[in-house]
């Protein structure tokens, strides 16, 4: 699922930083950057925006006032240089409150909260993770349609127009793009490189540059390194 988001901040540098952070999160889709709250209000309601990164100190209509005008299902992450607004922001049911300058790790923590809220099951929407589909999927391999159990799929390796499915039974090739598969996999599957998606449940160890799944060594891409580290941190004790 893609989470549609916008940035509302009158500071170009702050907006640019958030734009860069958003671009590093695969499940976020940036739908606009606004430097004026009035323009943001006109566009958010008409575009079914899921999440707004909202500065509080805005000229004219401030962030807290704008928050009161948003649709009730729009998630809010407030961004500001002033800590005194924290209490007021949570009264607006904000998911999180980020104090500038915002680090990527702090941003990732806030985004994880948003994703967890959207991950709540919806019985009306069938997905690969619904009750009757969560264990397996079907995919065409050659002239056959094959059933693959998620628990048996160790990792996926992409190569141009096709992918290799590495399972505990062996390796199979199918003509499918990585992006298509990534959008349909359960949360235990994480993209760690432009050519690799791994099943966290099969990871045996991790070093600074690689993931090990039994005897296989998989590189960690620079673009995905921080995201992957945050996911592993949330699973660590």
**Domains along the chain with CATH numbers:** 3-118 (3.40.50.2300), 136-234 (2.40.50.1020)
- Determine which of 9-18, 45-54, 189-198 has the lowest per-residue pLDDT on average: 45-54
Mean pLDDT of the 62-76 span: 82
pTM for the model:
0.52
Look at the block and give the residue holding tokens 């996999």: 185
Mean pLDDT of the 50-56 span: 93
* φ and ψ at residue 207, rounded to 5 degrees: -120, -165
Integer CA distances (angstroms), 138 to 130, 146, 148, 190, in order: 15, 5, 6, 20
Q: Please count the other Cβ atoms lying within 10 Å of the Cβ belonging to residue 161.
A: 8
pLDDT of 92: 61
pLDDT of 46: 62
Q: Which two tokens stand for residue 176?
A: 């499918």
Q: 230: burial class by Cβ within 10 Å (0-12, 13-18, 19+)?
A: middle
Radius of gyration, CA atoms only, the chain: 20
Mean pLDDT of the 21-41 span: 90
* 177-223 pLDDT per residue, tens: 787 777 778 878 888 998 999 999 999 999 989 999 988 999 998 87
CA–CA separation, 107 and 95 (whole Å):
12
Strand order in the sheet with 205-206: 205-206, 210-213, 216-219
Cβ atoms of residues 43 and 6 within 8 Å: yes
Q: What is the DSSP letter of 188?
A: T
CA–CA separation, 53 and 74 (whole Å):
11
Mean pLDDT of the 26-39 span: 90
Q: Which two tokens stand for residue 101?
A: 């300058």
């Amino acid at each position: 699922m893609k989470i549609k988001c916008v940035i509302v901040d009158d500071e170009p540098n702050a907006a640019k930083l958030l734009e860069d952070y958003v671009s590093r999160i695969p499940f976020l889709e940036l739908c606009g950057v606004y430097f004026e709250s009035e323009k943001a209000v006109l566009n958010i309601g008409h575009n079914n925006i899921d999440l707004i990164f909202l500065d509080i100190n805005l000229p004219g209509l401030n962030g807290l006032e704008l928050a009161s005008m948003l649709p009730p299902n729009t998630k809010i992450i407030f961004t500001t240089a002033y800590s005194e607004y924290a209490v007021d922001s949570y009264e607006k049911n904000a998911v999180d409150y980020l104090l500038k300058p915002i680090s990527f790790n702090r941003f990732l923590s806030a985004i994880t909260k948003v994703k967890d809220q959207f991950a709540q099951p919806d019985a009306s929407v069938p997905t690969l993770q619904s009750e009757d589909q969560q264990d397996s999927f079907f995919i065409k391999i050659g002239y056959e349609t094959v059933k693959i159990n998620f628990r048996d799929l160790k990792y996926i390796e992409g190569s141009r127009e096709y992918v290799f499915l590495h399972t505990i039974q062996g390796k199979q090739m199918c003509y499918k793009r990585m992006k298509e598969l990534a959008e349909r996999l359960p949360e235990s599957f994480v993209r760690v490189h432009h050519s690799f998606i791994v099943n966290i449940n099969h990871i045996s160890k991790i070093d600074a540059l690689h993931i090990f799944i039994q005897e296989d060594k998989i590189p960690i891409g620079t673009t995905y390194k921080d995201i992957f580290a945050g996911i592993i941190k949330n699973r660590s004790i």
